[in-house]
Amino acid sequence: MTFQQLKYIIAVAEAGSISKAANELFIAQPSLTSQIHEVENEYNIKLFNRTNKGVVVTPEGEMFLSYARQVLDQVDLLDEKYKNNYTKTLFSVSSQHYSFAVNAFVDVIKKYDNEKYDFSIRETETYEIIDDVSKLKSEIGILYINDFNKNVILKLLDDNDLIYETIFRAKPHVFISKKHPLCNKSSLTFENLENYPYLSFEQGNHNSFYFSEEILSTIKRNKNIKVRDRATLFNLVIGLNGYTVSSGVLDEGLNGSDIISIPLDYDSYMDIITIRRKNVILSNIAEYYLKSLKKYCKEDLWKY
């Protein structure tokens, strides 16, 4: 098998037709068909089912394509770095919406500020975090697990050849405005909160309770608002006397001083974990990021 054959197979999958892909690749259709058959024979798999309207990727073909894309992504990175004298430092992390993840990212930028770099941090949906790390779009992912979602999340990690490490365990806390009518309470119950809007992060096409970023997502609320970014969520927490449920770790520099964290009177927990690809050696930048992340996750530095 060659890299060129992988490119041919991906082109056919995206075009949905061997003839259309052949035209786009400027090669003869019989030659393209032959290349596909060669790979199918080599690995004893069937990549496509032929139909009157073109081709459809088989289930085993879908799995093959996921690996093929990862291989070609890595080849592209090598080409950029060594063929084109690409000298920028690369690093990417995907995370749920946590201030400590951003703080560690800031540390990385400060450490490598004298170099040319392309860094990215994606605060995104739970499923996309797993997908990003699986496809090597990000070296590290950050999310939470607990008794409710653990089996589903860990199976998904295993299916995608990912491993995890627990960074810390947190009890659930409620984020509210410091001017909220409940702001002086030492702890809160769901009964206290039932008349206030509940804010949570949207999960897109994978909007399952198991992928919710907020702990205790199955509890019914009278008033629900979904958002996509942290700034909007906190603005609504302040403007509507809303609330959300999270780890309790706040940073005034990132979230401002208008939000406070109050323990939730409920017997549950959140394990904040990092995920990465199995058998892939982390870069020095990723190792530094993890070290910095653990520093910000020390309990004596948390602001409740």
Q: Does residue 300 have a pLDDT over 60?
A: no
Q: Does residue 82 have a pLDDT over 70?
A: no
Tell which wins on pLDDT, 146 or 255.
Answer: 146
Q: What is the mean pLDDT of residues 231-260?
A: 83
What pLDDT does residue 199 have?
92
What pLDDT does residue 256 have?
62
Q: What is the mean pLDDT of the chain?
A: 88
Structure tokens at 281: 């050696």
pLDDT tens digit string along 1-33?
A: 888 999 999 999 999 999 999 898 899 999 999
What pLDDT does residue 301 have?
43
pTM across the whole model: 0.70
Q: What domains are there in the chain, each with its CATH number?
A: 3-81 (1.10.10.10), 89-167+271-301 (3.40.190.10), 170-269 (3.40.190.10)
What pLDDT does residue 223 have?
92
The CA distances from residue 196 to 24, 178, 179, 193, in Å, are 56, 15, 14, 6
Structure tokens at 230: 């942290």
Percentage with pLDDT > 70 across the chain = 92
Residues 109, 21: Cα–Cα separation, whole Å: 42
pLDDT tens digit string along 163-219?
A: 999 999 999 999 999 999 999 999 999 999 999 999 999 888 777 788 998 888 888
Instruction: Provide the 3-class DSSP secondary structure of residue 7.
Output: helix
Structure tokens at 78: 């090598």
Maximum alpha-carbon separation in the chain: 75
Q: What is the mean pLDDT of residues 281-291?
A: 93
The CA distances from residue 74 to 70, 81, 84, 118, in Å, are 6, 11, 15, 16
What pLDDT does residue 303 have?
44
Q: Tell me the pLDDT band of 88, cut-offs 50, 70 and 90.
A: low
Instruction: Provide the 3-class DSSP secondary structure of residue 127.
Output: helix
CA atoms within 13 A on the CB side of 255: 30
**β-strand 173-177 against 140-145: which pairing, if any?**
unpaired
Percentage with pLDDT > 90 across the chain = 55
**Among all chains, which residue has been given the structure tokens 């400060």?**
110
CA atoms within 13 A on the CB side of 286: 20
Answer yes or no: are the C-beta atoms of 97 and 175 closer than 8 Å: no
Q: Tell me the pLDDT band of 81, cut-offs 50, 70 and 90.
A: low
Q: Does residue 86 have a pLDDT over 70?
A: no
Burial class (CB in 10 A: 0-12, 13-18, 19+), 26: exposed
Q: Does residue 278 have a pLDDT over 60?
A: yes
Q: Tell me the pLDDT band of 45, cut-offs 50, 70 and 90.
A: very high
Q: Does residue 130 have a pLDDT over 80?
A: yes
Q: Does residue 302 have a pLDDT over 50?
A: no
Sign of CA dihedral 85, 281, 63, 211: negative
Query: In terms of residues, how long is the chain?
Result: 304
